[in-house]
């Protein structure tokens, strides 16, 4: 879980935001967006998302995402049925960044998001050091068990 603070949220629905230009549907979740484009708009949408998000996300085409191993080991085939479900553009946020949608969606107000991608070439593993409690205090008072980070 990554804490996505208010300053780390990029609102695709903000007034004047170009992130909806040429977009038919915005899918996925705030830290891993699948952008489904209108016919013929994929290249323009890819360029816009790369420009707007810059270093805050890895923005790639569907083909680049598959080739680079986001949907299975590098070099392994992805079926046509699976590829058709992947957005024309994929944006994987780095750090604590997230692309939210505030019009009619609860996800825009959540404080957390799924964790980031592991560094290439190494498996994700627990951090070294002592375990620390991660159960929010209010849940503890409501009788939920104490959860600790690995």
Structural domain containing residue 105: 2-116
Measured between alpha carbons, how far is residue 16 from residues 45, 60, 83, 123, 126 in Å? Answer: 15, 23, 31, 40, 41
Q: pTM for the full model?
A: 0.71
Q: Is residue 127 part of a domain?
A: no
Q: Is residue 56 part of a domain?
A: yes
Q: Is residue 66 part of a domain?
A: yes
Domain count, the chain: 1
Kindly give the residue spans of alpha helices, DSSP state H, lying in 1-94.
42-53, 62-67, 80-83
Q: Is residue 58 part of a domain?
A: yes
In terms of DSSP bridges, do strands 57-61 and 32-37 run parallel, antiparallel, or are they unpaired? unpaired
Looking at the DSSP bridge assignments, the partners of residue 59 are 91
Q: Is residue 124 part of a domain?
A: no
Is the pLDDT confidence value at 144 over 50?
no
Q: Is residue 29 part of a domain?
A: yes
How many whole angstroms separate alpha carbon 148 and alpha carbon 150? 6
Instruction: Specify the pLDDT at position 75.
Output: 83
Q: Is residue 140 part of a domain?
A: no
11: domain CATH number? Answer: 3.30.1360.180
Instruction: Specify the pLDDT at position 23.
Output: 95
For the stretch 33-88, pLDDT in tens is 999 999 999 999 999 999 999 999 999 999 999 999 888 888 888 999 999 999 99
* Mean pLDDT of the chain, nearest integer: 79
């Amino acid at each position: 879980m990554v804490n996505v603070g208010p300053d780390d949220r990029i609102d695709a629905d903000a007034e004047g935001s170009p992130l909806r230009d040429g977009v038919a549907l915005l899918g996925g979740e705030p830290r891993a967006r699948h952008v489904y484009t209108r016919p013929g708009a994929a290249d323009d949408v890819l360029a816009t998302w790369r420009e707007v998000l810059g270093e805050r996300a890895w923005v790639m085409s569907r083909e680049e995402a598959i080739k680079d191993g986001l949907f299975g080991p590098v070099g392994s085939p992805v079926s046509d049925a699976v590829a058709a479900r992947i957005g024309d553009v994929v944006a994987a946020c780095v750090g604590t960044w997230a692309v939210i949608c505030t019009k009619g969606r609860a996800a825009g107000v959540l404080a957390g998001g799924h964790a980031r991608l592991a560094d290439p070439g190494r498996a994700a593993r627990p951090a070294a050091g002592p375990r620390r409690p991660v159960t929010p205090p209010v849940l503890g008072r409501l009788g939920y068990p104490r959860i600790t980070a690995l």
